[in-house]
Structure 1
């Protein structure tokens, strides 16, 4: 089975079932199937051949989903790039993957006009590249994570079974298409013959609008970064009334979810299954933990759970209290585009430990590990402790300075009307962390800076402190 087979199969089985909903527009599986064929013919006329790359610098829409399907049917690979990316970065990505075409929103309308006819899909194998997701690279240039049909389907098939997807479900697509969270939204829906409801980019972090979307669209399966759920809770009234009546599964991934906020959600939605999924873009989801009523008394950070999607996950070095998370199995990427193929297990650069219940716990990033006055410090560990303070809604920690002058600074979002004090937070840290990990300075902020994918923007947090230092 290949990714384009999912829509083809659903269209034969239930042609009139809704496949994709975008605002007031809905495409049935038959309509999506026919539109994908028309777009595939148009792309073939433009010279797209098996193995080519097509950059989609487009908004989330039914047309974009159809073009993704069209590219796959031609045996090529699509490269989604959010329209918020500036032209020079898009050009860098297109050059980097030697793209056959770069398509913007205005280009999609012309692809729709191709006369409809059934297309014979190009021969492809499960090992062929299906799409490339570009992420920020440590060198400053974006790097493309090449994902095969096998990589994607190994995760999607497991996820669909784990969450019990069926044709009656409506999945919300909150993540942009260049973010790996969208793989479940789209292909999980297509595998089950369900409907995926696209969340416009303009609503991605608009808390009241997102909450209305969840209720009014009768979403049954929600998947997003934790910060979106935190925002909906704090400013969107998500937990002010009864739970969303249609919602049966809520999944979060992409960053740690403060335990207090997770447990608040767990207590408010007793009938909704909650999952914490973990995995870098290079592996998609490789571990999973279901949050149940048994976690309501939990004081430790939320686990990332056990290996899933057919993968094997372990810590290196073996037996250490904290080790690097290593992944091997069918979801591990083909490699970074233009670089040697991934050979063997993937070293995530994340550190983890085994909790007392046998579940894996996330500790932090290797590349965020810093030294403070001679001690190795992982800022994420300090953030996790700060997040357990009753007056803290969220926190981001950075280290300012170097050597003996290095200091731990925290940007803190207060919880409600609470005003956490510097002394109170230092005492809280001292009760849970070694002395060298106690924060040196705290700055209260209305919200943490976020990247386009909703993760904490650490560079922007550091800039906040740099600005404060300059202003004196």
Structure 2
């Protein structure tokens, strides 16, 4: 199987002068030859700083051409990169760093305060390389910077290889993020399928919307480089500005847009897409959560020439395991879009109490095939719990999703079996948020639930809590405290302060009752 860094090198040899990366500002660009040379230099610097095959390299930086180059440079050094959200609290990032034990941290100015915070969290011996000029941290010293890298010879170092490409840390129910191991073979298999299925070609202009610690970005990067196409990095500053996002698609003349459904929902709600808009756009893909069928129908009517595809799959099975090409505007907008059929080399298995469910029967969805991760980084117990043996002896992953297969073999997603939710495209364990809330001084007990309130962001995170006797803990104080412990997208949007949380007959917190408490009361008829 082709290694991921070799996808870039092959395209650079075929078409060295073609544009590979376009920065968020639209000004900074790198050709395939320039990107190949830069990644070789980064690899040489990492090897010089002690990175050996299999060593981890943490990446705490904004999404720029240099940051993309640092990921590929790590692979060329034989290393395993660990992209981390630099907007996360230092306490959470410190847990990831302690788990991954990176030999080097690559950072930019956006992570300067965070790296200082890591030192405060008890990580004083960090080797920090800057992707820009030297950083001015108060508690750390920059070991090397962009200028040092630029001075190196662009010859690729001759090093050993490791089967792992990167670690992606996802939300963990115990409050400790889980590192999913992703191999070169896993990503290469998906890229091979995607290039054939979507027909990606040189000259295509592909969006790079998801953050780099989100596994969807892996598809954007490596499928684009393998095809010799252009990757246009979407600025994080667009946020949920619907009209600026639409203008980006239009002005960059993108041929492919790939994002989580909440972005598509937001653009539709603000009517930011005109009739027959985006004349260059050929395909629109989404993954990460359910796209409401009325929103899909809105897009399909606006863009009748565009091909629409729903992709489905957890991080543990590499980007996506199944696909559904929507054939036409849905006639019944109350029917959810299927997650479809398995990609080449993948399998979807619906099990009911250990046996394969009959056609139309609801069961738990498991995934098998070439996309499966080896497991969780240094956590055999969690690996054994999630990756099990199927009825036919195949190794399969327990998704925690409910599904059914119809008579045509098309699989339909029906919801979650546990407390894991999707909000704004992020997979979130509500237990991790509860762990954070319970660490706040004054909290007696709490419960975090996901409630579908019909918003564009997907499931809304809601928290109910009670306080210890004599304590005062207003919602604003609670929100600020939790915001120092978890990423912004995991901070609950709705809060309830209760004297006592409701309990069921077993004395456990009654979460169904809480969910109803968070739902708005129905309007009285006039």
Give me the TM-score of the superposition, normalised by structure 2.
Answer: 0.71
Give the superposition deviation at 1:168: 1.4
Match of 2:78 among 69, 75, 84: 75
SS at match of 2:290: coil
Q: 1-side partners of 2:80 and 2:164: how far apart?
A: 6
Q: 2: CA distance between counterparts of 1:156 and 1:361?
A: 24
Structure 1's unaligned 5+ residue stretches are 371-378, 403-450
CA distance 1:363–1:153, shift in 2 (3 Å): same
What is residue 339 of structure 1 aligned with on the other side? 379
Q: Which residue of 2 aligns with 1:430?
A: none
In 2, Cα distance between equivalents of 1:332 and 1:98: 24
Give the 3 Å change call, closer, same or farther, for CA 190–369 of structure 1 in structure 2: closer
User: Structure 1 stretch 291-300 or stretch 275-284: which is displaced more?
Assistant: 291-300
Partner residue of 1:124 out of 122, 139, 161: 161
SS in 2 for 1:92: helix
SS at the partner of 2:191? helix
Aligned position for 2:3: 2
Pairing partner for 2:287 from 253, 259, 264:
253
* Match of residue 141, structure 1, among 176, 186, 192: 176
> What corresponds to 1:225 in structure 2?
260
Spell out, residue by residue over 1:347-380, the C-alpha distance to the aligned partner (whole angstroms, 9 max, x if none). Answer: 111111124654211111111399xxxxxxxx99
Q: Greater shift after overlay, 297-306 or 280-289?
A: 297-306
Q: Which has the higher contact order (CA 8 A, sep 6+)?
A: 2
**Which residue number in structure 2 is paired with residue 361 of structure 1?**
412
**Separation in structure 2 between the aligned mates of residue 61 and residue 174 of structure 1, nearest angstrom:** 12
Cα distance 1:91–1:369, how it changes in 2: closer, same or farther (>3 A)?
Answer: closer
Q: Structure 2: where are the runs of 5+ without partners? A: 110-129, 133-144, 389-394, 422-448, 466-485, 499-513, 519-526
Distance in 1 of aligned mates of 2:54 and 2:345: 27
Aligned equivalent of 1:167: 202
Match of 1:424 in 2: none
1:438 aligned residue = none
Paired position in structure 1 for 2:232: 197
Q: Is the Cα contact below 8 Å between 2:11 and 2:226 reproduced in 1? A: yes
Aligned partners of 2:90 and 2:463: how far apart in 1? 33
Residue in structure 1 matching 2:492, options 460, 463, 471: 460
Asked if the contact 2:55/2:103 (under 8 Å) is kept, the reply is: yes
**Counterpart position of 1:351:** 402
Give 1:268's match in structure 2, choosing from 269, 285, 302. 302
Confirm or deny: 8 A CA contact 2:169 2:180 kept in the other structure: yes
Residue of structure 1 equivalent to 2:51: 48
Cα distance in 2 between the residues matched to 1:14 and 1:259: 41
Aligned in 2, Cα 1:393/1:66: closer, same or farther, shift over 3 Å? closer
C-alpha distance 452-30 of structure 1, shift in aligned 2 (>3 A)? farther
Offset of residue 231 of structure 1: 1.0
State the distance in 1 between where 2:462 and 2:50 align.
Answer: 50
User: 2:21 & 2:459 partners in 1: Cα distance?
Assistant: 36
Once the two structures are TM-superposed, the CA of residue 394 in structure 1 deviates from its matched residue by 7.4
Q: Secondary structure at the match of 1:293?
A: coil
Q: Is contact 1:221–1:248 with CA below 8 Å preserved after alignment?
A: yes
Q: How does 1:6-405 map to 2 (within 5 A)?
A: 6-22=7-23, 23=25, 24-106=27-109, 107-109=130-132, 110-111=145-146, 112-124=149-161, 128-235=163-270, 237-283=271-317, 284-293=319-328, 295-297=330-332, 299-317=334-352, 318-319=356-357, 321-340=361-380, 344-355=395-406, 358-368=409-419, 383=452, 396=459
| TM, length-normalised to structure 1 | 0.79
> Could you give the per-residue CA deviations for residues 302-338 of structure 1, whole angstroms, max 9, x where no partner exists?
1000111411111012226211110111111121111
Provide the C-alpha distance between the structure 1 equivalents of 2:400 and 2:413, rounded to a whole number of angstroms.
11
* C-alpha separation in 1, matches of 2:175 and 2:198: 37
Change (3 A) 1:359 1:299: farther
| Distance in 2 between residues matched to 1:453 and 1:156, nearest whole Å | 31
- Post-superposition CA distance 1:161-180 (Å, at most 9, x none): 11110011011111001101
Shift in alpha-carbon separation, 1:369–1:20, aligned structure 2, 3 A: closer
